[in-house]
């Protein structure tokens, strides 16, 4: 009984040792003198200033060299653009000239471009091709990318790898086959723009890679939350994912729209020698081919400037949508 009482005295609930317990404090350790830490800095008092100035001189020399190299590269890069722009306003002679600044300025070349050549036709054809490609390709790319990003289906890896590998083959390897195919369908030569539009659109799903990367950054839990909330796959894609994907939509639209303007090999080959079926690239080249360069060079330059315009305008209109962090706030950032 006494045993029980004694135990009860120290029961966990009754006394959490607050009252009585023994302890032996540790002996105080001898106080150690703190070791003196000598401050050492890279730039001391007297030596430092000299070293400092030599460092400054050296960095100035390095900077100068870097800037010279950059300036040279910049000139090489920008000169063709400036050259084309300046030569397009040259009125005194139509051929190649040995100088850059026109002696006589004017819009004669532009007027000639639109009145005396097939350029308006080429321009319109290219513009329409660009429009169709932009719409179809964007739809394709977004759908394919979203599917590859969100759905897990058999053969998904294989499909992605295959598309990547096929994308690495240079496009002109398929030229002859495509030409034959389009010729059979009557979509070559003068009708080449139709054939080209089909070709551009047909391969568009292969450009999934960048858009898929973008969709991968949109958290899957958004889709899942929407599925729980009762949205169908279609509603999720159109109501949630697309509004968040403006940058990638714009990127895809721009890329798709620009493709027909710069394509020379395929466009030229499809139209063969029928200049009615050219796009701007093939047309402009035709303008200065062989002996025509002496009479058409400045007109060709004017054509180059006009081609650059729609793309520049388009980009300027759309660039404000290139905003980072659209998904900010969706998940903890």
Partner 1 sequence: MATVTLTNVKKIYGKSTVAVHDFNLEIADKEFIVFVGPSGCGKSTTLRMIAGLEEISEGTIEIDGRVVNDLQPKDRDIAMVFQNYALYPNLTVFENMAFPLRLKKTPARLSQDEIYRRVTEAAETLGITDYLLRRPRELSGGQRQRVAIGRAMVRDSKVFLMDEPLSNLDAKLRNQMRAEIILLRKKINTTFIYVTHDQTEAMTLGDRIVVMKDGFIRQVGTPTEVFDMPEDLFVAEFIGAPKMNTFRTRLDCDEEGYFVTTCGVRMRVDGEKGELLKARETQPQDIILGVRPEHITLTKRSDPSAIPCSIEVTEMMGSELHLHVKAETGEGLIVRIPTVSFTAAQLAMLTAGTKIFVTFRGKVMHFFDAEEVNLLRKLPAPAEETDLPQPEEANEQQEAETAQASD
Q: Are 147 and 237 in contact (CB under 8 A)?
A: no
Name the residue with tokens 């051929």: 95
Site for partner 1 in 197-256 (CB under 8 A): 219, 221-222, 224-231, 235, 240, 243-244
Least Å from the CB of residue 122 to partner 1: 40
* The two structure tokens encoding residue 156: 């998904």
As a whole number of angstroms, the distance between CA 277 and CA 191 comes to 6
Least Å from the CB of residue 120 to partner 1: 41
Residue 73 binds to partner 1 (criterion: CB under 8 A) = no
Least Å from the CB of residue 73 to partner 1: 40
Q: At what angle do helices 208-217 and 246-262 cross, to 10 degrees?
A: 170
Residue 24 binds to partner 1 (criterion: CB under 8 A) = yes
Closest to partner 1 by CB, 222 vs 308, is 222
* The two structure tokens encoding residue 216: 């991968």
Interacting residue with partner 1 among 1, 2, 5, 17 (CB under 8 A): 17
Nearest to 237 by CA among 331, 329, 145, 154: 145
Q: How far is CA 31 from the centre of its chain?
A: 65
Closest to partner 1 by CB, 222 vs 293, is 222
Residue 155 binds to partner 1 (criterion: CB under 8 A) = no
Residue 318 binds to partner 1 (criterion: CB under 8 A) = no
Select the span of 20-28, 58-66, 205-213, 279-287 touching partner 1 (CB under 8 A): 20-28
Closest to partner 1 by CB, 3 vs 45, is 3
Closest to partner 1 by CB, 24 vs 184, is 24
As a whole number of angstroms, the distance between CA 201 and CA 144 comes to 13
Closest to partner 1 by CB, 28 vs 173, is 28
| Three-class DSSP labels, 188-242 | CHHHHHHHHHHHHHHCHHHHHHHHHHHHHHCCHHHHHHHHHHCCCHHHHHHHHHH
Nearest to 219 by CA among 138, 328, 140: 328
Select the span of 22-30, 79-87, 177-185, 274-282 touching partner 1 (CB under 8 A): 22-30
Interacting residue with partner 1 among 1, 2, 12, 316 (CB under 8 A): 12
Q: Are 118 and 275 in contact (CB under 8 A)?
A: yes
Name the residue with tokens 């714009």: 250
Binding-site size, partner 1 (CB under 8 A): 39
Site for partner 1 in 26-55 (CB under 8 A): 26-27
Least Å from the CB of residue 30 to partner 1: 13
DSSP category for residue 31 = P
Other C-beta atoms within 10 Å of 79: how many?
11
Closest to partner 1 by CB, 103 vs 227, is 227
| Binding site residues, partner 1, CB under 8 A | 7, 10-12, 15-18, 20-27, 219, 221-222, 224-231, 235, 240, 243-244, 326-333
């Amino acid at each position: 009984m006494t045993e029980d009482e004694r135990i009860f005295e120290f029961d966990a609930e009754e006394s959490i040792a607050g009252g009585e317990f023994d302890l032996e404090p540790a002996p105080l350790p001898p106080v150690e003198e703190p070791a003196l830490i000598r401050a050492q800095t890279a730039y001391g008092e007297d030596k430092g200033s000299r070293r400092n100035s030599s460092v400054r001189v050296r960095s100035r020399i390095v900077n100068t060299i870097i800037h010279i190299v950059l300036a040279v590269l910049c000139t090489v890069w920008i000169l063709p653009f400036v050259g084309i722009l300046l030569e397009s306003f040259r009125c005194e002679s139509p051929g190649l000239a040995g100088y850059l600044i026109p002696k006589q300025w004017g819009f004669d070349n532009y007027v000639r471009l639109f009145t005396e050549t097939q350029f308006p036709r080429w321009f319109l054809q290219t513009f329409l091709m660009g429009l169709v490609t932009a719409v179809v390709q964007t739809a394709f790319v977004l759908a394919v990318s979203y599917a590859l990003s969100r759905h897990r289906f058999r053969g998904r890896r294989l499909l992605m790898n295959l598309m990547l590998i096929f994308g690495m083959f240079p496009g002109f390897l398929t030229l002859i086959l495509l030409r034959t195919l389009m010729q059979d369908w009557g979509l070559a030569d003068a009708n080449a723009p139709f054939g080209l539009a089909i070709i551009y659109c047909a391969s568009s799903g292969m450009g999934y890679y960048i858009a898929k990367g973008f969709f991968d950054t949109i958290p899957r839990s958004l889709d899942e939350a929407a599925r729980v909330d009762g949205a169908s796959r279609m509603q999720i894609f159109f109501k949630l994912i697309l509004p968040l994907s403006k940058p990638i939509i714009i990127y895809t639209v721009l890329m798709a729209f620009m493709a027909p303007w710069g394509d020379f090999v395929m466009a030229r080959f499809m139209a063969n020698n029928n200049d009615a079926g050219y796009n701007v690239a093939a047309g402009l080249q035709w303008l200065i081919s062989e002996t025509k360069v002496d009479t058409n060079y400045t007109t060709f330059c004017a054509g180059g400037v006009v081609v650059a315009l729609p793309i520049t305008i388009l980009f300027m209109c759309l660039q404000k949508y290139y905003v980072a962090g659209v998904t900010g706030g969706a998940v903890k950032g």
